């Protein structure tokens, strides 16, 4: 297959390119990183890039929490407008297969159960509670402590920040395109992706990158809240193979199918910091109690559907992946 990989010069996109080559496919990169003219928001550029393309793997986006609402137009432009231009051009040129880099951020807070009220949806955490060190969301009905669980794809969307809103908009645009054209659209809702070539020292970098950069400076990783917030850290090579599996898979025409893409094994942010500090032989992490409004407390995936439908499974576990990531230090 000849596959257009938007964002193919980025962290995840570059691994998708490698994985496609390994499977005998032909990737074509569209990314403005090296050449600002290769912009997915530009209709003529996209139309030219789609010539002879069988499928699109759409990774290009402005990522991370960044400057938040002050950069709302930037997020909406790269992520929303970029996806709109892309699907319009695909409709025009009859390209019928789309795999989208989705995100777990569309869920907001993860899945929680209350002993009395069953599955509940806690709202955003109040600044006053966070200031007082009360990080765990509580039952909206009775205020009791909640048990965090694994979020499945049918969980309601609840984007909590600008980035999340634009990642959800991308899915809606892809779904609208699929309905209108009979194309197949798969969204892989990545959880916390880490590994070689992870962006560093930018407001868009992920937490593993922040921790490793601190360790490289000889400083202790600074862990927000109490460090017990749970995430699913999934290795970038596994996300790349999930993309190839999604590109090769049959899927329901005329609809968007969403898949959680996680390792299936939750870890806390504190555990991540400790694993990286140990692997670097660096100072122990410091738990600061600081927080970022807009962060969610726990968000961990049930990736069973991806495994069952696409026959994919992650190959790089947490211990091995974090050791390798730490060892790559300043170079990887
Ligand atoms: N890293 C994660 O943990 C994570 C989690 C969930 C979802 N995602 C999604 O995965 C995708 C890839 O993210 P990443 O982590 O590799 O980030 P990244 O910043 O390394 O890669 C994104 C790439 O897209 C390119 N790009 C951005 N806007 C563009 C535009 N308008 N036209 C052309 N190219 C453009 C950038 O130049 C960059 O190379 C994104 O869609 C992101 O939302 C990432
Ligand atoms: Zn309750």
Give the model confidence (pLDDT) of 66-91 as tens digits: 667 899 999 999 999 999 999 999 99
pLDDT of residue 34: 87
The total of other beta-carbon atoms located within 10 Å of residue 56's CB is: 30
* Residue 190 to residue 193: CA distance in whole angstroms: 7
For every residue of the chain, which 3-state class applies, written as one string?
CEEEEECCCCHHHHHHHHHHHHCCCEEEEECCCCCCCCCCCCHHHHHHHCCCCCEEEECCCCCCCCCHHHHHHHHHHHHHHHHHHHHHHHHHHCCCEEEEEEEHHHHCCCEEEECCCEEECCCCCCHHHHHCCCCCCECCCCCCECEEEEECCCCCCCCCCHHHHHHHHHHHHHHHHHHHHCCEEEEEEECEEECCCCCCCCCCCCHHHHHHHHHHCCCCCEECCCCCCEECEEEHHHHHHHHHHHHHCCCCCCEEEEEEECCCCCEEHHHHHHHHHHHHCCCCCEECCCCCCCCCCCEEECCHHHHHHHCCCCCCCHHHHHHHHHHHCCCC
Residue 252: pLDDT over 80: yes
pLDDT, average across residues 165-175: 98
Instruction: Supply the mean pLDDT for the chain.
Output: 94
* Residue 71 to residue 88: CA distance in whole angstroms: 25
Residues around ligand 2, an ion, CB closer than 5 A: 114, 116-117, 139, 141-142, 144
pLDDT of residue 181: 98
Q: Which of 6, 12, 209 to mutate to test the pocket of ligand 1 (most atoms within 8 A of CB)?
A: 12
pLDDT of residue 332: 52
pLDDT tens digits for range 113-168: 999 999 999 988 999 999 999 999 999 999 999 999 999 999 999 998 899 999 99
* Contact of 322 with 209, CB cutoff 8 Å: no
Residue bearing tokens 């995100």: 103
- Confirm or reject: Cβ of 12 under 6 Å from ligand 1: yes
Query: If you measure from the C-alpha of residue 98 to the centroid of ligand 1, how many angstroms do you get, rounded to a whole number?
Result: 16
pLDDT of residue 328: 83
Q: Which of 63, 196, 204 to mutate to test the pocket of ligand 1 (most atoms within 8 A of CB)?
A: 63
Query: If you measure from the C-alpha of residue 93 to the centroid of ligand 1, how many angstroms do you get, rounded to a whole number?
Result: 24
pLDDT tens digits for range 37-70: 999 999 999 999 999 999 999 999 999 766 678 9
Identify the active-site residue in 163, 190, 259, 291: 163
Residue 331: pLDDT over 70: no
- Confirm or reject: Cβ of 254 under 6 Å from ligand 1: no
pLDDT of residue 116: 97
- Confirm or reject: Cβ of 236 under 6 Å from ligand 1: no
Active site residue 259: no
Query: If you measure from the C-alpha of residue 295 to the centroid of ligand 2, how many angstroms do you get, rounded to a whole number?
Result: 22
pLDDT of residue 109: 85
Question: pLDDT: is 200 or 307 the higher one?
Answer: 307
**Among 243, 269, 245, 244, residue whose Cα is nearest residue 322:** 269
Share of the chain above pLDDT 70, in %: 97
pLDDT of residue 32: 97
- Confirm or reject: Cβ of 192 under 6 Å from ligand 1: yes
- CB-count burial class (<10 Å; 0-12, 13-18, 19+) for 141: exposed
Query: If you measure from the C-alpha of residue 255 to the centroid of ligand 2, how many angstroms do you get, rounded to a whole number?
Result: 36
pLDDT tens digits for range 198-233: 988 776 678 999 999 999 999 999 999 999 999 999
């Amino acid at each position: 297959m000849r596959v257009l990989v938007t964002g193919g010069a980025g962290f995840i996109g570059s691994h998708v390119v490698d994985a496609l080559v390994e499977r005998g496919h032909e990737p074509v990169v569209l990314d403005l990183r090296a050449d600002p003219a290769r912009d997915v928001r530009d209709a003529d550029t996209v139309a030219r890039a789609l010539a002879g393309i069988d499928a699109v793997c759409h990774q290009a986006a402005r990522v991370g929490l960044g400057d938040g609402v002050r950069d709302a137009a930037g997020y909406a432009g790269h992520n929303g407008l970029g996806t709109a231009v892309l699907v319009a051009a695909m409709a025009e040129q009859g390209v019928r297969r789309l795999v989208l880099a989705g995100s777990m951020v569309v869920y907001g807070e993860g899945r929680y159960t209350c002993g009395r009220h069953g599955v509940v949806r806690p709202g955003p955490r109040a600044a006053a509670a966070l200031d007082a060190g009360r990080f765990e969301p509580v039952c909206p009905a009775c205020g009791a402590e909640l048990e965090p669980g694994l979020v499945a794809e049918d969980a309601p969307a609840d984007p909590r920040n600008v980035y999340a809103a634009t990642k959800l908009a991308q899915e809606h645009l892809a779904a609208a395109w699929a309905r209108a054209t009979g194309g197949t659209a798969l969204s892989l809702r990545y959880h916390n992706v880490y590994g070689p070539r992870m962006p560093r020292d930018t407001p868009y970098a992920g937490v593993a990158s922040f921790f490793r950069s601190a360790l490289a400076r000889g400083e202790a990783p600074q862990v927000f809240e109490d460090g017990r917030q749970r995430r699913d850290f999934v290795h970038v090579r596994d996300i790349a193979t999930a993309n190839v599996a999604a590109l090769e898979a049959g899927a329901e025409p005329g609809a968007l199918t969403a898949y959680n893409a996680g390792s299936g094994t939750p870890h806390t942010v504190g555990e991540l910091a400790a694993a990286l500090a140990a692997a670097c032989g660096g100072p122990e992490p410091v738990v600061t109690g600081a927080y970022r409004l807009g962060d969610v407390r726990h968000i961990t995936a049930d990736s069973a559907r991806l495994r069952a439908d696409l026959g994919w499974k992650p190959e790089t576990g947490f211990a091995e992946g974090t050791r390798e990531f730490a060892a790559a230090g300043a170079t990887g």
